[in-house]
Amino acid sequence: MPSHGIGIISFAHGHVNAYCHQIRTFDDAHLVASWDDDTTRGKQQAEAFGMEFVESAEALVARDDIDAVIIAIETNRHAEMVRLAANAGKHILLQKPMALSLTDCDQIIDDVDRTGVKFSMGYQMRQDPMNRKIRELVQNGTLGKVGVIRRRHCIPVLFHESFHTSWHIDPVKNMGMWMDDASHAADFLLWVMGSPVSVMAEIDNILTNVAPDDTGCAIYRYPNGAMSILLNSSVTWAGENTTEVYGEKGVLIQNHDDSPSMMIKGIPHPIGLKMYLHAEAEKGWQDLGFTLPEGHGARIAAVARPFIDYLNDPSKPHATAREGKACIEMILGAYQSAREGRRIKLPLS
C-alpha cells in the first residue's frame, strides 16, 4: 500500500502534535512538510517531527508529494484553510470545532462537496473503545428507549496562568471555551443520539474571568422526547463519573473518560464502563471489561489512525462535514439560549 504524504497547516492547536507523533509510526503515511504563521513555533515543530518548513500555506498545498493536510490553525481561520486545501485537491483532517459561524460551516461543506476531497473532523471521542461500546448499546436497543444521557467533559486549563496567553481565550479566534471544548461532548451526543430538536442552556464565567466563559450546562431534547445533558467546564481540577445513560431496560455508567478524571491517580482498579440490566438484576453491575489508557493524551492521539484508514478506504467511519455543522448548531444554539434565557429550536438553519 502506498504511503500518504501528510502536510500540517499550523501547530496552533496542540492536538496536532499528538497526531504527528502517531503518523511517524505508520507504514502507510508519512509527514512531509508544514506551515505556520508563527514562524518560530512552526520551524521548531517541523524540526521536531522531521518535516520541511515552508513559507506559506499556498506553497504547502501546491506540493505534489502531499496527499492530505491536517488543519490545526485557529478556529476562525478554518474555512479559509479548508478552501485553500480543497481547491488544491488535498484531503483534509480538520481540528475541532469546525468553525465559529454557520456561514463558515456552509462554506466548508460546499468546498468539500465541490472538490470531492475526503474530509473528516478530528473528534477523538469517536475513537475511544468505551465510547464506541456506549454507542453500540444505545443504538442496538440493549438499554431500550433512552430517557436521559449525561456527558461531563471538563479540563482545568483556565486555572493555569500559562494558558492565559493562549489564543483559545481570544473571542475573535475561538469565541469561548464552551465553543472550543464543549464541542467534543456535543459531537459525542450527536454521534450517539442523533440531532436534537431544541436546547436550553446556561453558559458563563463562574470561577474565573480569564476567557469569555468557563462553565456551561445544556439540556438537549430529541424527537422521541429523550434528553441529553452536556456539562462542560474549563475550571475542573478532578473528576470521575463521565457518562450516564438511563434507559427503560438498563443503565450505563462510564468513568475516567476526560482529562481531570485521568490526571488524578489513587483510585484502585477503576471501572471504565459498567452496565446494569433489569432483566439480569441478579448480576448487579456488570463490568464491561475495558482497560483505561495511561493518560487522556492516548485518546487524543487515536485520531490519526482512523483518518489514514479513511484515506485508504472511503467507506471507513469518519466525522463528516455535515456532522461538523450539526455540532456547531448545537453549540451556537446553547450560546443563544444562555444569552436570551429561552429554549432554542434546532437546527438553527
Q: Tell me: the pLDDT tens digits for 109-135?
A: 999 999 999 999 999 999 999 999 999
Kindly state the cell numbers that stand for 325: 455543522
Neighbours of 106 (CB within 10 A): 15
Say which residues have a Cβ less than 8 Å from residue 313's Cβ, sequence separation at least 6.
Answer: none
CA–CA separation, 15 and 22 (whole Å): 11
Whole-number pLDDT of residue 264: 85
CA proximity to 122, closest of 99, 98, 100, 94: 94
Cβ(31)–Cβ(20) below 8 Å: yes
Mean pLDDT per 10-residue section of the chain, whose length is 349 residues: 93 96 97 97 97 97 98 98 98 98 98 98 96 98 98 97 96 97 98 98 97 98 98 96 97 95 81 97 97 89 96 95 98 98 96
Whole-number pLDDT of residue 349: 83
Polymer length of the chain: 349
Whole-number pLDDT of residue 67: 97
Neighbours of 21 (CB within 10 A): 15
Whole-number pLDDT of residue 265: 81
Say which residues have a Cβ less than 8 Å from residue 17's Cβ, sequence separation at least 6.
Answer: 11, 45
Strand partners, 35: 9
φ/ψ of 292, rounded to 5, equals: -80, 145
Kindly state the cell numbers that stand for 270: 477503576
Query: Could you give all domains of the chain from N- to C-terminal order, each with its CATH number?
Result: 4-117 (3.40.50.720), 126-295+329-345 (3.30.360.10)
Q: Which residue has the cell 504563521?
A: 37
CA–CA separation, 169 and 180 (whole Å): 9
Whole-number pLDDT of residue 76: 98
